[in-house]
Amino acid sequence: MELVIGTKRWSTWSLRPWLVLKRAGVDFAEIEIALRRGDATGDEIGRVSPSRLAPALRDGDLVIWDSLAICEYLAEKYPEAKLWPDDPALRALGRSACAEMHSGFQALRSECPMALDEAPRAFELSEAAEKNVRRIVALWTALLARSHGPFLLGAWSIADAFYTPVATRFRTYGVKLADYGDAGAAQAYSERLLETPEFLAWEEAALVA
């Protein structure tokens, strides 16, 4: 099994399935391709992925080229890893949270790209990005209250992989969740995501690359 990823400092979409593979204990080869090189990046990724975008998972003759599809494939292939909770309601809510992240929060993603090599700093968000942060705080708070934590659905899941890059953005751009409502649980959760051994391993590799 091979996972094609983009530059670790920047590639949020690559981080998500990488975390899932590591958490599931799957042996895989990692192929990191430098981003931000125009057509050269697309051409290199295109040797594996029909979308010419990272990430892409190759499992034998099968190629999956979307981060959410990769994670769902892994959940089905390795059920013993418990990448989704057994409770069907929590699973549905987790999938909803992932889908919202997958397609939404455009302002926050545009204004605050993941940059693991940059020191934390103060940053003024636009009104649209602040609206995104308020929604994320509300989402996290509701899921943590329902599951009783410590992660969104209780035990660590794909939903946590999807929101780990968001936690890096909050850290890098000095986003104080307390400014967006009663966010004590959300702030603690954001910090918890960045303390998992899988993320710390990714970050360490990103900073030495």
pLDDT of residue 209: 66
Residues 147 and 109 occupy one common structural domain:
yes
Residues 123 and 185 in one domain: yes
Give the pLDDT of residue 54.
Answer: 93
Q: Is 208 a domain residue?
A: no
Check whether residue 149 and residue 164 sit in a common domain: yes
What's residue 207's pLDDT? 95
Which own/partner contact pairs does 21-27 have at CB distance under 8 Å and 24+ positions apart?
21/74, 22/198, 22/201, 23/81, 23/83, 23/156, 23/161, 23/198, 24/74, 24/78, 24/81, 24/83, 25/81, 26/1, 26/74, 26/78, 26/81, 27/1
Residue 35 confidence (pLDDT)? 84
Structure tokens at 172: 């890098």
Among residues 20, 46, 81, the one where a domain terminates is 81
| Residue 49 covered by a domain | yes
CATH number of the domain enclosing 8: 3.40.30.10
| Shared-domain flag, residues 125 and 40 | no
Among 55, 71, 56, 73, residue whose Cα is nearest residue 11: 55
Angle between helices 67-77 and 88-103 (to 10 degrees): 160
Query: Do 95 and 191 belong together in one domain?
Result: yes
| pLDDT values of the chain reduced to their tens digit, one per residue, 209 residues | 999 999 999 999 999 999 999 999 999 999 999 887 888 887 888 888 889 889 999 999 999 999 999 999 999 999 999 999 999 999 999 999 999 999 999 999 999 999 999 999 999 999 999 999 999 999 999 999 999 999 999 999 999 999 999 999 999 999 999 999 888 999 999 999 999 999 999 999 999 96
> Is residue 21 domain-shared with residue 71, that is, in the same domain?
yes
Q: Is residue 168 part of a domain?
A: yes
Three-state SS at 1: coil
| Count: domains in the chain | 2
At 104 the pLDDT is: 96
In a domain? residue 130: yes
Q: Is residue 207 part of a domain?
A: no
Please check whether residue 109 lies inside any domain of the structure.
yes
Asked whether residue 58 falls in the same domain as residue 73, the answer is yes
At 99 the pLDDT is 97
Please check whether residues 121 and 188 belong to one and the same domain.
yes
Domain assignment of residue 204, yes or no: no
In a domain, 205, yes or no: no
CATH number at residue 103: 1.20.1050.10
Range of the domain at 121: 88-198
